[in-house]
Amino acid sequence: MQLEILEGISQNTVDTRRLKTNYLHRPGGSKKLVLVHGNVSSSHFFQKIMLALPEDFEIYAPDLRGFGLSEVKDVDASLGVRDFSEDIFEFSKSIGLEKASYLGWSLGGGVVMQFTIDHPEMVEKLILQAPVSPFGFGGTDVNGVIMNDGAGTGGGAANPEFVKAIAEQDFEAENQTSPRNILRGVYVADATILDHEDLLVSSMLTTATGEGNYPGNASPSEHWPSFGPSNKGVLNSLAPTNFNVSGIAEIEPKPDILWIRGDSDAIVSDSSLFDLNHLGALGAVPGWPGNEVAPAQMMITQTRNVLDSYSANGGTVDEILLNGCGHSPHLERESEVIAAIDRLHR
């Protein structure tokens, strides 16, 4: 698939020991910044902010495996997101980045947290934009304890109509679950702010679908809603049985962390519309067994608790809450995100 490249950005490919990686590059000064995208997207979601960041930043935006124009390889979800984070490690080594700042958005937030745990010496600053909770996506109580073996999480939690729309390359807005409508209604709080919408939809449609990629496979469960996480694919890499980066609070050295989020995020929230336990509590998924058995995941609270521990252990954390902003601060509040990134590097 051909994706529009905005003037001032180049598209490149590097062969690493793990993956043929596509990446975008904007030349600049001495400050190195790597942008890691979220689920059902690609590096192309970052093009506008890449062009708008100050000239003293040199910026790289790689595509994760199975997204964008990078090589499609299965995700071993039993490793959590380490397939992704080790791909980023090899990418950084291959282009000669000994140390850089890393920004991770959504899924990418989990990836850069894992990367920082495994390679803290390579991280100048860590920027978490609407990141997945350090305890994964769904299936945990407020303290990160796994409930019911993680039932309701992983590959089986994806909307099959949305997966089908990606696989069939649905570029239009006729169906409620089309990528275009999910972009407008879920990725952002106000669709009127979207620029280059066709490019963003095209980026979403590069997502490789199937058991090894998005969304992944599922396992039967004796617990409601009768399925649980398994060992392959993107959503299983974030299942709480496979993913836990709360150990970031203990790492040394500790890069300064910037946490950016919107107060109207429908995806990463203490009341996420993609958390089956929360949907069950709302009556949208029948048979919910109750809050004591299947509590909604307190994603923001969990992240704050881990970052508070990071601070208590000697790290520095700055949280920025953007009012009226959804899941994509770099699209919705570009100038404020840029100002925060710039301040972090002064």
Residue 97: CATH number of its domain: 3.40.50.1820
Structural domains in the chain (count): 1
Residue 127 lies in a domain: yes
**340 Cβ contact list (under 8 Å, min separation 6):** 258, 260, 318, 320
Tens of pLDDT, residues 190-220: 999 999 999 999 999 999 999 999 999 999 9
Q: Specify the pLDDT at position 2.
A: 77
Residue 290 lies in a domain: yes
**288 Cβ contact list (under 8 Å, min separation 6):** 224, 277, 280, 281, 294
Residue 65 lies in a domain: yes
Q: Specify the pLDDT at position 280.
A: 98
Mean pLDDT computed over 268-278: 98
Tens of pLDDT, residues 141-188: 999 999 999 999 999 999 999 999 999 999 999 999 999 999 999 999
Residue 1 lies in a domain: no
Q: What is the mean pLDDT of the chain?
A: 98
- Categorize the per-residue pLDDT at 83 as very low, low, confident or very high, splitting at 50, 70 and 90: very high
Phi-psi region of 122 (alpha: psi -120 to 50; beta: other; left: phi over 0): alpha
Q: Specify the pLDDT at position 226.
A: 98
Which residue range forms the structural domain that includes residue 84? 10-344
Q: Specify the pLDDT at position 308.
A: 98
Residue 4 lies in a domain: no
Residue 274 lies in a domain: yes
Residue 326 lies in a domain: yes
Max Cα-Cα span within the chain? 56
Residue 242 lies in a domain: yes
